[in-house]
Structure 1
């Protein structure tokens, strides 16, 4: 299937009037919230059917390997290299040139991914041994199960990376809703596989691996009609010698490390956790999933929206607007990230009990996962800052600086892992990730200030005072009503859901009321 013949006179080939960054971020956030809520439903279902035992550990390893590579090839290095170049083409060239770039990128990326996928499927035993050596050395049955599932899950890399290519094109043309909605299909596929397909397998957890493969196919097909509507549905062609493709590859290679440091750190956590007691991989997974909820809904939403905007401002040499956009993004991160982190710290056990304490998930699993959740929560602001500061480099087609910072932070994380794992077990791995994230974010911010592309706008002191007071009032409310972990473990499902709704709704209301009482208005949130 091919798109209509491109024309340099099509309106889609010209940048339309820019939408409000707040409105676009809210749209992406709403769609992502839907996806993340369904992701939590998925995790509830998986926890109910498989708990935190050896089969769940094996699946999480088999899913994490292609997921990690996906973030390198797709949302990570590729999108950060592709979007600035595509935005430049969109601003300075006609639609025919944009279509030619898209075709050649799709063909070149597709060929590379096809080769990598074939190697991954054939080399599944080696990959499982590398990423979970504890399974290989100490638990042959868990290792063999992980290998078998990896052969199903690895082709997801090819499918989801092409989906991410499609999403990058749509985001560059301010069609944010479709790419943000697409992950919903992964969650629906895994929920369906866990409920209806698992009885069909001798090893029920294999249904989840097949569900991943189905999800990749559905997600790619879903975006194609929307690409066709803007006349940019790719007709894949090899183009390694194309000037645009060369620039993307040049930007992508160093970005493989720079933008994906947090994912590399999480994989290192999985590797080391495979040597710890059974359940450690799953405890880290469930706690990371909760920490990822505000990160994905707000941090990644803001980053998704500002990257094309920053890229166009750089192409147009609008330095002041570039700086103001970054400043706005950091304020939004603080507005959302700080209360989210505080809530995760205070409500770790209640949240985990409400979402996962059913079926095979035990009291002990909730307690252990809550410990690592608090460690991740301490780093939530840093994780979100990395997401919005990195585009300040990639939008200017500077991938060398973030990669230097990323490698340094990753080395520090590895050292901290080895230091903290002995006294703190799996919690030490989460804490090391948090500390290295703060280092990463701090160095990214320092670099932007030093290069003069970012400067603090007026009003930060007032903003921080409002944030501080609102968060203190919210924390006091949560501590007053939260109760003890033992109470939450003894509640039935409806008691947990009702009590959690009161805590979340009341905490959010107090936070917003205090902000309003101290003078914050909607106009202060607009860029």
Structure 2
């Protein structure tokens, strides 16, 4: 009994550590997402759902996908387990050597990839947006912006490497805030260069490339403080064994985490054949989905991976099970009501954020339709972010790839079936349904792999979440009943009403969870109380 009590106490400390780290990452991500929405609002106001906007969002799709794969995915998933193993089982100097070797290999490899990407940009655009070929101006504009933004791949990959090192040493704040720097630089270049260029939208493309560079450079001082400066290692030596191990994990890891992004690319390809504006509607719809997904699911995934990797390296299977259960329950506790909120408040949100300047009522309704169908899969997108790192912590990269390929095939079939009757909404719905399939299959296989996954506890938590989320319905009915959402103007009043509806919905949700004695609610509440107590006791 005593050893069991110690084990529970130790796991409690692990969960508090994960939640604290996730809070830091979530705060940084929140700042970044807010800045990202400001950038999107500026772009929507300047370019609306025009040819220039469609061209920019197709060109931006490539670096944006790479950002989500590398900065929020495969680089960390491949690097952190190996780097954590070096920190846990070998010396710090060997870990430092691994960091330098990874930096050198990545730099040389990506310089070649970027050069090829710039040269073959026309072919790339023909592949992902073949519907643009019939419009020479639109095609040429997209190719030019793709070339401007392609170096983003190099910069964001180096930023992801820096993030992996810092997260492994439990230094979460600098990487979390770095993505906000990217958006600041992007906004400055939209304002500073757009009026000066013959093609104004080029200012946005320049901002993306330089924003990626800033996201890497802002983390360099923290690397020096942790004792891991990224020095160049002579490439003529044989590859470092740790880099070889990373390489074995990186490609399958990228494929496993890229399922959603491959589906988005397929959507872009098919949307290029639909009416003008369809690509823009899907882009803005996914941006709204990424707000809760990035703040909560990606933040928790980022914070949980080093712990899962350390537990796997030490052979602590029971601890790994409990950490996974904790992560899945906590992410569902937050993302499911967020999903309900996006569905119920979608038109007021899109209207308030984007319906300005060139972005009119038709664009609002098109984007709201994309939000509706993307939101259906939000809980699955979030769940994948938690279940996939468990496989990677066990250094199993093949299973997520196999299941991912099944999901991609399912998405293509569903796209072809649904895009006819639902247009771009059908493409968004297909992405959601394939994500649900992906998550469900991964969860079934994980249960076979590690045995029980605390299923009864997870189910009990999820049922409480489902019941409590129904409290969002009254506020949404009240908000949507107002006719002000049909026309422009009264922006402050609209912002106030939307804020009231969201606050009332959130308060109702948390009150119901408290009355149901939700474990996740009281965990968060106690964590907040503990942090506030520590702050009040800290000498000033």
* Distance in 2 of aligned mates of 1:309 and 1:485: 50
| Equivalence for 2:8 | none
Q: Select between 220-229 and 514-523 the one with higher mean Cα deviation.
A: 514-523
- Offset at residue 377 of structure 1 (A): 0.4
Q: Counterpart of 2:470 in 1: which secondary structure?
A: helix
Q: Give ranges in structure 2 of 5+ residues lacking alignment.
A: 1-12, 528-540
Does structure 2 conserve the Cα–Cα contact (< 8 Å) formed by 1:350 and 1:488?
no
Residues 486 and 139 of structure 1, relative CA distance in 2, 3 Å threshold: farther
Correspondence 1:191 to 2:173: no
In structure 2, the partner of 1:6 is none
Aligned-partner SS, 2:232? coil
Question: Given that residues 352 and 366 in structure 1 are in contact (C-alpha distance below 8 angstroms), is that contact kept between their aligned partners in structure 2?
Answer: yes
User: How big is the shift at 1:455?
Assistant: 1.5
Residues of 1 paired with 2:487 and 2:125: CA distance?
Answer: 35
The alignment of Structure 1 onto Structure 2 pairs a total of residues equal to 510
**The 10-residue stretch of structure 1 (473-482 or 260-269) with the greater mean CA deviation from structure 2:** 473-482
The answer to whether structure 1 residue 123 and structure 2 residue 120 are counterparts is yes
1:75/1:25 CA distance change after superposition, 3 Å = closer
- Please list the CA deviations of residues 207-234 of structure 1 after superposition, one character each: whole Å capped at 9, or x if unmatched: 0011112112211110000000001111
Q: TM-score, normalised by structure 1?
A: 0.93
Report how far residue 462 of structure 1 moved: 4.1
| Cα pair 2:355 2:364 within 8 Å, conserved | yes
Q: Which of residues 16, 25, 29 in structure 1 aligns to 2:26? A: 29
1:199 deviates by 0.6
Task: Tell me the CA shift for residue 421 of structure 1.
Answer: 1.2
Distance in 2, matches of 1:498 and 1:202, equals: 39
Are the structure 2 counterparts of residues 24 and 507 from structure 1 closer, same or farther at C-alpha, using a change threshold of 3 Å? same
- Using the alignment, how far apart are the partners of 2:215 and 2:459 within structure 1? 44
> Is the Cα contact below 8 Å between 1:32 and 1:181 reproduced in 2?
yes
Partner residue, 1:4: none
| Whole-angstrom CA distance in 1 between matches of 2:481 and 2:158 | 47
| Root-mean-square deviation (Å) | 1.8
**Bigger shift: residues 327-336 or 444-453:** 444-453
- SS, match of residue 38 in structure 2: helix
Paired with 2:69 and 2:459, the residues of 1 have a C-alpha distance of: 37
- Which residue, 95, 100, 111 being the options, matches 1:103? 100
Q: CA deviation at 1:68?
A: 2.2
Residue number in structure 1 paired with 2:225: 229
Q: CA deviation at 1:22?
A: 1.3
Residue 255 of structure 2 corresponds to: 257
8 A Cα contact 2:348 2:485, kept in partner: no
Which stretch of the first structure deviates more once superposed, 274-283 or 190-199? 190-199
CA contact (8 A) 1:67 1:157 kept: no
Deviation at residue 485 of structure 1 after TM alignment = 6.7
| 8 Å Cα contact 1:133/1:274 also seen in 2 | yes
Residues 445-464 of structure 1 aligned to structure 2 (within 5 Å):
445-452=443-450, 455-456=453-454, 459-464=457-462
Provide the rounded CA distance (Å) in 1 between the counterparts of 2:452 and 2:76.
Answer: 22
Contact 1:350/1:485 (<8 A) preserved: no
CA deviation profile, 1:323-352 (whole Å, cap 9, x unmatched): 000000110121111100000110111100
Structure 2 residue aligned with 1:377: 375
Distance 1:199-1:461 versus aligned 2 partners, 3 A rule: closer
CA pair 124-165 structure 1, distance change in 2 beyond 3 A: same
Q: Does the 8 Å contact 1:322/1:454 carry over to 2? A: no
| Distance apart, 1:453 and its partner CA | 5.2
Partners of 1:256 and 1:453 lie apart in 2 by 26
Paired residue for 1:410?
408
Q: 1:230-287 CA deviation, whole Å, 9 max, x = no partner?
A: 0111112236622111111111122221111101111111111111111000000011
What is the CA–CA distance in structure 1 between the aligned matches of 2:171 and 2:165, rounded to whole Å?
Answer: 9
Are 1:357 and 1:489, in contact at CA under 8 Å, matched by a contact in 2?
no
Alpha-carbon separation, structure 2, partners of 1:478 and 1:127: 43
1:468 aligns with 466
Give the structure 2 partner of residue 387 of structure 1: 385
Alpha-carbon distance between aligned partners in 1 of 2:89 and 2:470, rounded to the nearest angstrom? 49
Compared with structure 1, are the counterparts of its residues 56 and 322 closer, same or farther at alpha carbon in structure 2 (3 Å cutoff)?
same
Contact 1:420 1:432 in 2 (8 A): yes
Larger mean Cα displacement after TM superposition, 493-502 or 387-396: 493-502
Partner of 2:495: 497
Counterpart CA distance in 2 for 1:343 and 1:270 is 26
Q: How does 1:36-435 map to 2 (within 5 A)?
A: 36-136=33-133, 138-237=134-233, 238=235, 241-435=239-433
d(CA) in 2 for partners of 1:390, 1:363: 39
Gaps of 5+ in 1: 1-16
SS of 2:219's partner is: helix
